Structure 1
Amino acid sequence: MATSNIVPEHEVPLSIVEKGWKSLHLTQYQGFWRPLKFLSGVMACRECFEACKDDIILNTTPKSGTTWLTALTFTILSHTRHDLDNHPLLTTNPRELVPYTSARYADGKVPDLTNLPSPCLLSSHLPYELLPTSIIESNCRIIYLCRNPKDTFVSLWYFLNNFLPEDEPPVPIEEAFELFHGGISIFGPFWEHLLGYWKASLERPERVLFMKYEELKKDPTFHLRRLAEFLGFPFSLEEERQGLVEKIERFCSFESLTSLEVNQSGKTRRGNPNKNFFRRGIVGDWKNHLTAETSEKLDQLSQQKLEAFGLTFKDVGK
């Protein structure tokens, strides 16, 4: 692990600070938006983190199935060590089992990650362009899960409302939509975040796995096998016969995770209620919140930004 000095927060080069989301003060750094109070941790992570070739990095845009992907990947990697009847996920939120890279640097110290099991499993919301150089150069595996922009926006709006004081009303969804549409959201612009990993997956498919939330929901069994193979831990014929894939699918399902006491009343190490990381977990909830006009605006922008690169979300319906 490198021992470089952390960049003091007052020395972080800032550009525009945006307050429109109410619960966050976002600053634009290297073309992407990040909560101001955590920016020094991002910079320190980029400077100090030393990846190994066996590391596995989970990446998502916020509210794109991060908790689900974390639970699935952790369970696949640890299924020979932990029986599902006595599993860490039964008493610990998935996000607490997988270190969030840049957050570990936020306190001004270089964390010791050497005691983590091998392969080392880490998570991140960082855009591909902001990943530490060592992650790219080490050829470690990167798994990226994205979600259609409409459901991502609605879920993000609900999520950030959880952090407002009880007596403060949320930012109106119409105003939040204009911010999101304009690229101003956590780790946004949303479309640029997707494209960084999409292009990387086309260039290095053996090292970057690009997944869609909607496809994972539609056929979780198929994508669990795909995920396990990419991780280098494919299910054996005996495990297939025993129904292990389907057991993991049910064990890590939204219904299963939300039923656990730890996710109903527990809190993260930062004091945030675990229940805030679960809402509905369905595809198409945007239809209950967006007008036909706003829906069409996101469709047009997605087509403009993504389709030229072969990336679409046509499977989410109208």
Structure 2
Amino acid sequence: MKSWPIIRPYVMIAPALIVFLLFFIYPIYYMVYLSLHSWDFISPTKDFVGLSNFQQLLNSSEFAKVLSNTLVYTFGTVVFSITLALFLALWLNRSTRIHRLAQTAVFSPYIISLASIALLWLWMMDPDFGLLNWLLSLVGIPKQPWLTDQNTALFSLILVAVWKGVGFNTLVFIAGLQSIPKDLYEAADLDQSPKWRTFYKITLPMLTPTLFFLVVTNVIVSFQVFDTVHIMTLGGPVNSTNTLVFNIYMHGFRFFNIGYASAVGVILLILLAIMTWLYFRLLSKRVHYQ
């Protein structure tokens, strides 16, 4: 067949393309389609309602609270996790046996299932018999409500997320640190540059691609938080830990308001797309500058 060399590349990529269309493109299209309809998951017909789901969503005080919770959770998780991981990486970036064991200990929570971690911390944060309150009592600090008070519940979920994710961020930072040319540090030592100036002028700029990567991945993961909310708080107390993905689950699979849930999903998709675009825009500017 003379045409075989021409169509061969398309035949080779056809399986991956079919999977991509079926499991990525079609679900996004169907979510947008459902967001323009009213459907209760049971009725055989879907009523077209246009943008009324989005109008209801944007005028809802519940959605404003959910979006606020998600933004606070994402900001707290990303900032604390990346900052702590950077300091741990600077300390653990050594090849001694103790530091290798410490790297393993820091990374181990990341490989544990999130459901198991949520159950573990649910017990540890028990207001009466939890480990955390027992430790606080040893130093004279009164018991904390943790998950049962709307002022501390979201912070408690952030604490769990940081504990689980800091190990992965630390290892990525260590890989970034080890890729920095050693002669830069040798030149700084010859100039008798202070440690803080070496970090600010050499280490931090050279870690910028790593930092950008971790910020984007952590933001995406934080926006998609569900397991810990579902297991530990169910969005409470008083909606204080209700996040976008959990809100989608509640309206879609508890209240059977598929159109509204799909509208929330579209908003989530737009937010993640904007953040990803900003990441690549900033990264391209940095590459162009270099």
TM-score (norm: length of structure 1): 0.22
Structure whose residues are more often strand by fraction:
1
Larger RCO, structure (CA 8 Å, separation 6 or more): 2
Larger radius of gyration: 2
With the length of structure 2 as denominator, give the TM-score of the two structures. Answer: 0.24
